[in-house]
Amino acid sequence: MNRPPFLSKGDSIAIVGPAGKIDQSVVLKAASVLREWGLQVQLAHHLFDDFFGFSASDEDRKNDLQEALDDPTIKAIMCARGGYGTNRIIDFLNFEYFRKNPKWLIGFSDITVLHNHILNNFGIETIHGTMCNDFVSENTSSETIESLRKVLFGEKTTYHVEPHSLSKRGIAKGILTGGNLAILISLLGTASDVQTSGKILFIEEVGEYHYRIDRMMIQLKRAGKLKNLAGLIVGEFNDMPDKAENFGKSAYEIIADVVSEFNYPVLFGFPAGHGKDNRSLIFGREITFEIKETAVVTF
């Protein structure tokens, strides 16, 4: 894997909006925190255009991200938020300069499109981590923000996860990939399709009915994305609009059932996704996790 240089004080980070619209005050608050870390912050030209629910038109969102990818003075790119829209611009981006001069790309949810496209096509590490909204939310844990700072500045990261009754014990080692479950499904058969063989897959989801979770997991299984994993890490599955009793299983029980025939370790309850805790993960990084009485994930 190709690892971008870790950041140092004085480096520049760009905030771009490849997907949904975002309030300016939210971005400015996040930028203030980034400056406290010693970083220079550049805001994309069209970040606040508000184009039919997107941060800007497809062309302007693409151009803003392209400029950040190509600017040699920018050492990291934070996506302002997820929502929807990254898949509309991914095929029109030119990653030639980025491939030769990689920089950290940060985001989650809809940004799963960028994570998988970059990892599959260029073998470059990216950060599945918090975005601008979380910097202002009272529900965001301090560990969420601090985990992003540690990863960006190259500090060693180890996560200790409380045991879950559905977790399957063992030791897994492999390159980490994945992201939001619904987005992973939308990428199947494209140039950004998640590649899972021999890898550790991370998944998370928010706001989906239980039957849809089941349908998406079955689709991953039928597509051959689950059978050759080194391990599976399951993050937050929250804000389901229906009750588990309506389907007969909780989201975690659905996942456990779908992968029950496989022998790799499965870690449930990792603090990442659309919840209070959204600890940063490095996609493309070879990681190890071990599940015994407690689980330890080491980057």
- Could you tell me if residue 289 is left (phi over 0), alpha (psi between -120 and 50 degrees) or otherwise beta? beta
pLDDT at 136: 83
Query: Which candidate, 110, 148, 146, places its Cα nearest to that of 129?
Result: 148
Q: Tell me: the pLDDT tens digits for 112-168? A: 999 999 999 999 999 999 999 888 888 899 999 999 999 999 998 899 998 899 999
Q: Tell me: the pLDDT tens digits for 42-69? A: 999 999 999 999 999 999 999 999 999 9
Half-sphere exposure of 80 (CA within 13 A, CB side): 33
Q: Tell me: the pLDDT tens digits for 155-191? A: 988 999 988 999 999 999 999 999 999 999 999 999 9
Judge whether residue 297 has pLDDT over 90.
no
Judge whether residue 23 has pLDDT over 90.
yes
- Correct CATH for 12-152 of 3.40.50.10740, 3.30.300.30, 3.40.50.300, 2.160.20.10: 3.40.50.10740
pLDDT at 137: 82
Residue 180 belongs to what H/E stretch? strand 170-180
Domain ranges of the chain: 12-152, 158-298
pLDDT at 265: 97
Judge whether residue 1 has pLDDT over 80.
no
Write the CB contacts of 25 (distance below 8 Å, at least 6 apart in sequence). 136
pLDDT at 295: 84
For the chain, give the longest Cα–Cα distance. 53
162 vs 83, which has greater pLDDT?
Answer: 83
pLDDT at 14: 98
Q: Which entry of 46, 55, 109, 147 is annotated as an active-site residue?
A: 109
Q: What is the mean pLDDT of the chain?
A: 96
274 is catalytic: yes
Write the CB contacts of 82 (distance below 8 Å, at least 6 apart in sequence). 19, 20, 107, 108, 109, 110, 111, 131, 180
CATH second-level architecture of 158-298? 3-Layer(bba) Sandwich (3.50)
164 is catalytic: no
**Residue where the block lists tokens 């039957």:** 211
pTM of the predicted structure, to 2 decimals = 0.97
Q: Residue 298 — pLDDT band, cuts 50, 70, 90?
A: confident
Averaged pLDDT, 5-25: 97
204 is catalytic: yes
Averaged pLDDT, 198-214: 98
Q: Which entry of 125, 204, 208, 236 is annotated as an active-site residue?
A: 204
Query: Which candidate, 6, 14, 2, places its Cα nearest to that of 153?
Result: 6
Q: Which entry of 55, 115, 274, 280 is annotated as an active-site residue?
A: 274
135 vs 201, which has greater pLDDT?
Answer: 201
Averaged pLDDT, 237-247: 94
Judge whether residue 234 has pLDDT over 90.
yes
